[in-house]
Amino acid sequence: MAGHCALNAKILGSSPSSPAKEDMNTQMTSFIDESGVGDLTDHKYKNFVLTSVTVNNSELNTIYGYFSLIKKKYGLSDAAPFHSYDLLENPSSRFSSARAKSFIKSMCEFIELVPMNIVAIHTNKIVFRKQFKIKETDLKGSKENKEKRGLIYYLSALNQLQLFTKYLKSEDGVGYIHADSRTYQDRDLLDAFLRIKQKNIRGGLPSAYYDLAKRSLVSITFADKGALSNGIQLADFTSFVVFAYLERKISFYKDVGLSQAWGKLRGRIKLYKLNDSFGVSNIRNYL
């Protein structure tokens, strides 16, 4: 599952039956970003979360325009992406308390205005390793064992695509996926994209998502945040806030008001545990 995928690569899936049909459907874009480390050998972070922010393509210009304005307001380069971690936590680059508080307020206003569907798949890695009796030796040695290190990222990505496919069905839409390139994890997300568009799932069982995914998932794009679009930065901020909540660090940002952002988001986020959403028995098929 782990591997390298070139930056700025666009992988086309099965398109709708004709361009005219695609034009008739609602077009949606899902921006995907993560927080924490999706590697089972990592013990620094207890939690991992993969977040998607899906918007109607008719809202994209609003998102792009907003982020151009916010970058100008806070002296950030319009040509370069911002990372919430660098602005709010990194000791060498974070904003002052007053500036960070103002920035979060601006983000809260934006969250209130833009219609979006937010899904976060999270995993407590300590619980996951214990539940599935995964030992350090199970993640070393053979290529197959080493690939298991990224299992929670792969399964979270596959689960995100399953839920995105269901959402597209409810909206009578077709979907595009944009993800921040992470070098090693690109392959996991790409594999999940290709897997959901196949007739059979692992073990040869028929896939419940094949027909829907084939019709509705149009493409997946990997690139640096700046090369993709400002929608990735929205996913980055959302994922940062969700991760702070999961790590019980919201109070750590009390002086800058991150709790306000969580207050705006919590009623709009569909927050799933990977074990519950993907299913314990299904996870066992990949071990």
C-alpha 51/C-alpha 169 separation (Å) is: 20
Q: How far apart are CA 115 and CA 137, in angstroms?
A: 46
Best CA proximity match to 84, nearest among 253, 254, 263: 253
Instruction: Give yes or no for residue 18 having a pLDDT over 50.
Output: no
pTM of the model: 0.88
Whether residue 136 contacts residue 24, with contact meaning beta carbons closer than 8 Å, is answered with no
Beta strands of 125-233 (E only): which ranges? 173-180, 217-223
Pair of tokens at residue 109: 């206003």
Of the pLDDT bands very low, low, confident and very high (cuts 50, 70, 90), residue 169 is: very high
Q: What is the pLDDT of residues 203-236, one digit of tens each?
A: 677 788 999 999 999 999 987 655 446 788 889 9
Share of the chain above pLDDT 90, in %: 62
Residue with tokens 């994922």: 239
Q: What whole-number distance in Å separates Cα of residue 224 and Cα of residue 39?
A: 21
pLDDT for the residue 224: 61
Question: Which residue(s) pair with 52 in the sheet?
Answer: 32, 119
Q: What is the mean pLDDT of the chain?
A: 86
Domain ranges of the chain: 10-284
Cα 13 to chain centroid, rounded: 19
Considering only CA atoms, which of 193, 207, 134 is closest in space to residue 164?
193
Bigger pLDDT: 94 or 16? 94
CATH topology of domain 10-284: Nucleotidyltransferase; domain 5 (3.30.420)
Q: Are strands 173-180 and 217-223 parallel, antiparallel or unpaired?
A: parallel
